[in-house]
Amino acid sequence: MHEYLEINPEVKKALAEGKPVVALESTIISHGMPYPKNINTALDVENIVRKHGAVPATIAIFNGKCHVGLSKDQLEYFASTKDVWKVSLRDMPYVISKKLYGATTVAATMRIASMAGIKIFVTGGIGGVHRNANETMDISADLTEMEQTSVAVVSAGIKSILDIGLTLEYLETKGIPVITIGQNEFPSFYSRKSGFSSPLRSDDIIEIANMLHAKWRMGLNGAVLIANPVPAGHEIIAEEMEVHIQKALNAAKERKITGKEVTPFLLQFISEHTKGESLEANIALIKNNAKVGAELAVAYSKS
Ligand code: PSU
Ligand code: MN
């Protein structure tokens, strides 16, 4: 395994000393936001993680290796290069063996983080069961990965481009705890509301850290999904988003977008049609997640 892993010296040292480390994904940089907001956000997020006492480890694939902890130049590469590979689990062996460059999704990032020994991972939102999954069978590998890989995933919930109800059912079936911070309702990424109550709630990061230890010490493998609602000042009302989501879903159907292109297409369409408002919400929530993820990594390393 280690012949395919390249952990940067700062992350390696922190892991060896049992210091808190937070993994970050790269698909959100390459496919989730336009340049240069993506690079600025990626750098800000790393700084927030540091400010709250943890070492950031953004993960991506370069030249046949899974890199854990990227340099500024590497981040800039993923932010500014068009048509970078979006690498989920099924793409990993191809991209690695052909020595291509790839940005990793939640699923691939979790797996690489786990190989490196990182337990806490921060993202914006996970992939899930798509709204018309009964026709398309489109269910993100993020969910199957969460079933088997023991990494905590800090998110702002699940985007309502997906079927949130079915995704919560899937997570329940696979034994993945879902816990929302500070409220009873499960959030929907851009909005603090989703219409679904959260299976679990916590108002205390230490409590969540204890839960992670309990789960994994008992041998209950797999992820915990932590939902951290978007800050109130930055949310977009769910009903407002729904109009854009419907338009995006129709456009995807018309253009026959399938497979791994679906999620990036929907996200970009919505960003364009909300005139950047959704992008600002996205940036605010990922920064908020970085803070909570770092706090969780600190609490986890102490308990
Ligand atoms: N959801 C978001 N923003 C994102 C993604 C998901 O709110 O940027 C990205 C993540 O990298 C996630 C991937 O792992 O999309 C899921 O893609 P798919 O649905 O093709 O599995
Ligand atoms: Mn899919």
pLDDT tens-digit map of 266-299 = 988 998 999 888 899 999 999 999 999 999 999 9
- The closest-lying atom of ligand 1 relative to the alpha carbon of residue 107 is 14
pLDDT band for position 158 (50/70/90)?
very high
Residue 64, Cβ neighbours under 10 Å: how many?
Answer: 15
Test site for ligand 1: of 29, 123, 137, most ligand atoms within 8 A of the Cβ: 123
pTM for the predicted model, two decimal places: 0.97
Q: Over pLDDT 70: what percentage of the chain?
A: 100
pLDDT at 276: 84
- Is the Cβ atom of 27 under 6 angstroms away from ligand 1? yes
| Residue 135 annotated in active site | no
| Residue 25 annotated in active site | yes
Vertex 128: Cα angle to 125 and 195 (nearest 5) = 75
User: Where exactly are the structural domains of the chain?
Assistant: 5-302
Q: Kindly identify the ligand whose nearest atom is closest to the C-alpha of 86.
A: 1
Cβ burial 190-214 (10 Å sphere, 16+ → b, else e): bbbbbebebbbebeebeebbebbee
pLDDT tens-digit map of 66-124 = 999 999 999 999 999 988 999 999 999 999 999 999 999 999 999 999 999 999 999 99
Give domain 5-302's CATH architecture.
3-Layer(aba) Sandwich (3.40)
Dmax over CA atoms of the chain, in Å, equals 53
pLDDT for 151 beyond 90: yes
pLDDT at 251: 97
pLDDT at 198: 98
